[in-house]
Amino acid sequence: MSERLNGVSAFVEVVEAGSFADAAVRLCVTRSAVGKTIARLEQRLGVRLFHRTTRRQSLTDDGQLYYERCVRALAELDAAEDAIDNGRREPTGRLRVSVPVLFGRYCVAPILRGLAREHPRLEIEISFTDRVADLIGESFDMAVRVGVLPDSLNLVARRLGIQRMAICASPAYLERNGQPTSTAELASHTSVVYGRGGSAPPWRVREHDGSVHESHMAGQLRFDDMQAIADAAVAGAGLAWLPCWLIAKHVAAGELMLVMDSERVVATEIHAVWPQTIRLASKTRLAIDALVSEIPAMLAQPQSDAMPASA
């Protein structure tokens, strides 16, 4: 019976991952092992489940029918286990999470450290990078992403909150150059912009009539690190478009002044994302629920408040 279930799980993973190679990554086995498991399953059933070519694979009619039945059967097993578990099972094992560098450091890491204290059998590994990681290819259980999410058939997302943004500058810069009051005036100012891969996101500002204007700032300085941008702004290098939670301590200290606050500057959304799967592991669900519960309060602080204590 266990061999039959293993074969079923591997088969469903292949279908949902889209390839033997990606399924192998999800299952933490070799591609050859997945191929042998599917071959044994086809031999036992006496049918071919996949059409295979050198470049792609697709389900046969028998494979499609078998997949639909397997998904329903595994869902029933999951429901049975959840009913027995009823939240009593201790999360165990390694949880791999990809997070943006600064947001991850100040907002995500403290929450996940708290989970590690509460659950001694849970191992948490966090990768801090502003690069969009390949969750399946790099074997991450989940990620936190800031900004617009592209459409994906392989990932599931849950909204964690909104990141309020503001445009700011040092008092010395504004004394020298004046304070812009409209989007038209922004372009005439020196700016420090966030850029990665040769492109920079526009500064989205709400006009007085409620319409949204996108300012594509040239930027004499372009960094791919938000903290470096904040440091440059404090040093008087120009205007900066930054998260309110990051500039809060600088505003409170008088090192930065708000040029346009979060009522004018359009916020960005934050999501937790994870690979599509039949059963979401309890350790992943625990982390997502904790982030959903705690991150909104972190992001709701007034712009002049100090940074979170964990920073």
| The CATH number, out of the four listed (3.40.50.300, 3.40.190.10, 3.40.630.30, 3.90.209.20), of the domain defined by the range 165-260 | 3.40.190.10
- The position carrying tokens 């469903």 is 12
Share of the chain above pLDDT 70, in %: 88
Could you tell me what percentage of the chain is helix, strand and coil, using 3-state DSSP and rounding each to the nearest 5?
Answer: 40, 25, 35
Q: Flag whether pLDDT at 306 surpasses 70.
A: no
Helices (H), 165-305: 171-177, 183-186, 226-234, 244-252, 282-299
Q: Are both 93-162+268-299 and 165-260 of the same fold?
A: yes
Domain ranges (residues) in the chain: 2-85, 93-162+268-299, 165-260
Which among 98, 128, 131, 105 has a CA at the least distance from the CA of 243?
105
Domain 93-162+268-299, classified CATH 3.40.190.10, yes or no:
yes
* Tokens linked to 291: 């982030």
Which among 97, 225, 108, 96 has a CA at the least distance from the CA of 160?
108
Q: What is the pLDDT of residues 215-242, one digit of tens each?
A: 888 778 899 888 999 999 999 999 999 9
Residue 32 backbone phi and psi in degrees, to 5: -60, -40
Q: What is the pLDDT of residues 257-303, one digit of tens each?
A: 999 988 888 888 899 999 887 678 889 999 999 999 999 888 876 54
Q: What is the pLDDT of residues 80-119, one digit of tens each?
A: 666 555 455 678 889 999 999 989 998 999 999 999 999 9
pLDDT of residue 288: 93
pLDDT of residue 197: 67
- What pTM was computed for the model? 0.65
Burial of 199 (0-12, 13-18, 19+ CB in 10 A): exposed
pLDDT of residue 310: 34
| The CATH number, out of the four listed (1.10.10.10, 2.40.50.140, 3.40.50.720, 1.20.120.10), of the domain defined by the range 2-85 | 1.10.10.10
pLDDT of residue 270: 92
